[in-house]
Amino acid sequence: MNSGKTLFAQLMDFLPWSTFTRIVSRYGGDWRVRTLSCAEQYRAMAFAQLTYRESLRDIETCLSAQAAKLYAMGFGDPVRRSTLADANEARDWRIYAELAQRLIVQARRLYTNEDLGFDLANTVYALDSTTIDLCLAVFPWAHFRTTKAAVKMHTLLDLRGNIPSFIHVSDGKLHDVHALDLLLPEAGAIYVMDRGYVDFARLHGLHLAGAFFITRAKSNMNAHRVYSAPTDRATGIICDQTIALDGHYTGQHYPSTCGASGCAMPSREKPWCSSPISSVCRPRPSAPSTRADGRSSCSSSGSQHLRIKQFFGTSENAVKTQIWIAVSVYVLVAIVKKRLKLEASLYTLLQILSVTLFEKLPLDQALTHDADKGVTSQITNQLDLFAY
């Protein structure tokens, strides 16, 4: 790794720039652009995401403070907030969405053999959504409620590496269950969802595609027990049953039998206090204990790393541009983690990068806390000034 480059420049070297250039050309992103190309726009927004900037003025001020290093970071001219705002409004957000998808493909290949933390050979996905509340007067296109606007990001997360494999950005009115209509089910995969995705017609579609699902059971679910398997209550598993749905419509929508299990899960506020949680699944994708582990992994691996405090633009294009660049930056750090064989978590790597982007150290040393060792190794060949 070249220690003469800033950490930001070394990180950007992992991007497939030739692929990015073809994507920009396909959408005409740099057509009649004189300053701040799409590549420079991406660098500026990636810098903002990595360092948790909160406004366009914040980005401009921080980059201006390091004006001598801007050229080495890939900027031909100083970044002006008005120019960056215009770029976010005008450049097609699909440029950055397609770049993020290319990075996701790379990352999923690297994490194919990642350990899930429990004994399971299937691919496990966690499906969830994140709602970002907005001001209706400023974001009138993001319809949600009468007096409130919002955008919703539906994410399908591959738990091997916590890599998003599917993302859909919509207004706040799109119900979670409709995200199932946008998925292409993968045979043999396990989809872990919350009770907001319980729609037995759609779940039966996953069943017919050869996929498995695990979801929370609703309290008013009408079903009867067909078979009960023995369980060890010492593991926290209360029951493991095969059930059939008795409801008039649910029975028609899901005519097959499905599995049901109950487990005692400690609450977050009171870890010593356990409450029973019931789940419904396609029969026997795994043992009940593994299903409980999968649900806990789902709850702890959301989109907490995509820290977007403020949106830098108010149009739909600017919002989607910022979201997709944030996704691509997160996936890029995941790729770097695997290629450099780093042991630290993604959260730790993002925190280190947030305060060291302007440092000129080898990237692998900076991210493994070996910076002091690197400095020592560079001066060991020098003569001792005070030789005895």
**DSSP conformation letters of 147-207:** TEEEEEEEEEEETTTTEEEEEEEEETTS-GGGGGGG----TT-EEEE-GGG--HHHHHHHH
The pLDDT score that the predictor gives to residue 386 is 41
At 331, list the tokens: 């996936």
Contacts of 333 (CB under 8 A, 6+ apart): 11, 346, 349, 350, 353
The pLDDT score that the predictor gives to residue 118 is 66
pLDDT tens per residue, range 64-85: 999 999 998 889 899 999 999 9
Residues of the chain with pLDDT below 50 are 1, 265-276, 296-303, 370-388
The pLDDT score that the predictor gives to residue 197 is 92
The pLDDT score that the predictor gives to residue 18 is 96
Do residues 103 and 335 lie in contact, with contact meaning Cβ atoms separated by under 8 Å? Answer: yes
Number of H helices, E strands in the chain: 14, 10
Contacts of 62 (CB under 8 A, 6+ apart): 47, 51, 53
pTM (predicted TM-score) = 0.84
Name the residue ranges covered by the structural domains of the chain. Answer: 7-92+340-379, 97-300
pLDDT tens per residue, range 219-254: 888 888 888 888 877 776 777 888 888 988 888 999
The 10 Å Cβ neighbour count of residue 103 is 24
Buried b (16+ CB within 10 A) or exposed e, 65-80: eeeebbeebbbeeebb
The pLDDT score that the predictor gives to residue 127 is 93
The pLDDT score that the predictor gives to residue 388 is 37
